[in-house]
A and B are shown apart, each in its own frame.
Chain A
Amino acid sequence: MSLPDDVLDHILSFLQSDFRALKACSQSHPKFIRLIERHLYATVTLYDNNTISQNGLRTCQFIGLLSDNPHIANYIRSLEFEVTHDLIKSESVQYLEDIASVLRMCSLLNKITLKQIALGWAALPEAFRLAFLDCLHLSSLKAVCIIHVSGFPLRALRDAKNLKRLTLRGWTPGHDIIPDHSTYLSIEDLSIQDCGPSALEDIIIWLQARSLRSLEFSGPFEAIHIIGLLESLLSSCSNALVNLNLDFGTGCKSFYTNQLRVIYN
């Protein structure tokens, strides 16, 4: 074991997504334990129930671990919250309130993901919502993913001053939080997927992203007004955009046949 720690650390960094490999390494040499710990907790997924996450811990176990070992919070770079459909249950609410305390401990987050809120942003406990919004102020935060969370207030992203990557998937605006005016974000990487026409309209009107280098977009390409909005988004970043990913889905089709008899279209 003559390799320097920084070399070992670099090698181990490639195993961050491989829980089993990290586990095997941890058992091979005592020296690895200290090094592996920060890779093991670099990416954490927490649920509002007792689901086991990729690092083999249940949410309540992780919350317990963190409460006795607060230094682990400094290893967390990417934090993901997945909320099930059991939000009404008081147990889920309790979990989310406990997760809020985890959020407040993570001061070095690079990425935060919130997904699958069946009842929407407004249905989350206030303590969780406030803790999540506070995280957007972190200077270390570079990426935010909002996945199927209706009513998430886009205007809160104005507080994410160093935000570089934004993913909005299945987002719909809330009635009382439709963005009222355009906001300039210095994001470089934007992904908009599975958002309905009205949501797309809100996003594109609201968002000014002149420094965008990468854009992923899936939407109704046959809706002329959406195409117009998308063109205005593209023209705002026309001098910066290098990478474009468009998903036509099942839209914009022509129909070819071997007979002049259309079977269906």
Chain B
Amino acid sequence: MGCIRVNPARATFLSLSPLVCLEKLTISADLEFHFQSGYRGLPDVYGFSSSIYAISQLLRTALSLQHLTLDFRFHINDRLQLPYDPEALWSPLVTLVSQTSSPCIDLRVKATKLPGFTAISPEIVTSSLASCPALTQMVRRGVLVIIPVMPDLPVPEVKEASDKPIVTPPTSLGNINDRKQRKWLANLWPFGKPGEG
């Protein structure tokens, strides 16, 4: 199954060639998979909407690059499986990696939620990437490093420093400077004295 670019290139006109000292470049982008079920005997239609082509054009102008990081956030509008055969799907990425001057490229695969889309688990994307022989070869040669980035775990809620408030809050902000009305521990340590646990 082929992979056809439908619309003409929407290239960025930005050129990085004047940046003679540029060593490290990070490019982040949202990449979207679209799916529509076939009907009346027509096959399913898959689409892949990405700025890889524009990024490739930009990278051609970066001449002194030492390290490139591609920070891609993947989304899908329907099924949680990727369309196409991997070779066709990732051919624009293969072109990008093979044409860039950077000796080392990190590809960070992220899952974040975009309105109207579903975030794809990084494992699904990396599994599809691993099925593309050209990319696998680049990984083996050490040109490309694929890094799945797992979503952050929820941060536990911070509780007050101690069950017994060490610092007595003022009864109102109006009397904040009235020291007689406040009670402080001798060392004013918000966790209490050592050994008090």
Contact = CB atoms under 8 A, between A and B. Distances in A.
B54 A254 contact: yes
Contacts of A234: 14, 16, 18-19
Given A33-B189, A238-B20, A248-B55, A263 B36 contact: yes
Given A56-B158, A241-B19, A252 B11 contact: yes
Contact of B49 (A26, A57, A91, A255): A255
Most buried by B among A27, A54, A244: A244
A252 B21 contact: no
B122 to A, nearest CB: 19
B2 to A, nearest CB: 7
Main secondary structure of the interface of A (DSSP, over half): mixed
B29 interface: yes
A243 B30 CA distance: 21
Contact of A255 (B5, B158, B161): B5
Given A64-B168, A241-B21, A255-B5, 15 more contacts: A29-B194, A30-B194, A52-B158, A56-B158, A57-B190, A60-B173, A64-B176, A224-B13, A241-B22, A243-B23, A244-B16, A255-B47, A258-B3, A258-B45, A260-B6
A2 interface: no
A252 B6 contact: no
Contacts of A23: 161, 191
Contact of A254 (B1, B43, B50): B50
Contact of A61 (B2, B27, B169): B169
B84 A239 contact: no
7 contacts: A33-B187, A221-B12, A242-B24, A244-B24, A249-B28, A258-B83, A263-B47
Given A68-B179, A98-B173, A264 B1 contact: no
Contacts of A243: 22-26
Contacts of A244: 16, 19, 22, 24-26
Interface string A107-143: 0000000000000000000000000000000000000
Q: Which 5 interchain pairs have the tightest Cβ spacing?
A: A56-B161, A252-B54, A248-B29, A247-B28, A238-B18
Contacts of B81: none
Given A58-B169, A256-B4, A52 B159 contact: yes
B114 interface: yes
Nearest to A53: B158
Nearest to B47: A257
A148 to B, nearest CB: 19
B87 interface: no
Nearest to B114: A250
A23 B163 CA distance: 14
Chain A interface residue count: which class?
A: 35 or more
A19 B26 CA distance: 31
A156 interface: no
A251 B27 CA distance: 12
Contacts of B187: 33
Contacts of A58: 160, 169
Given A30-B194, A54-B158, A258 B84 contact: yes
B48 A257 contact: yes
A253 interface: yes
A67 B53 CA distance: 58
Given A30-B194, A52-B158, A58-B160, A231 B15 contact: yes
Given A64-B167, A221-B54, A246-B28, A252 B12 contact: yes
Interface string B79-99: 000011000110010000000
Nearest to B29: A248
Contacts of A251: 51
Contacts of B169: 58, 60-61, 64
B44 to A, nearest CB: 8
Interface string B148-170: 00000000001111100101111
B47 A248 contact: no
A16 interface: no
Most buried by A among B28, B43, B58, B114: B28
Contacts of B173: 60, 91, 94-95, 98
A62 B169 CA distance: 9
B41 interface: no
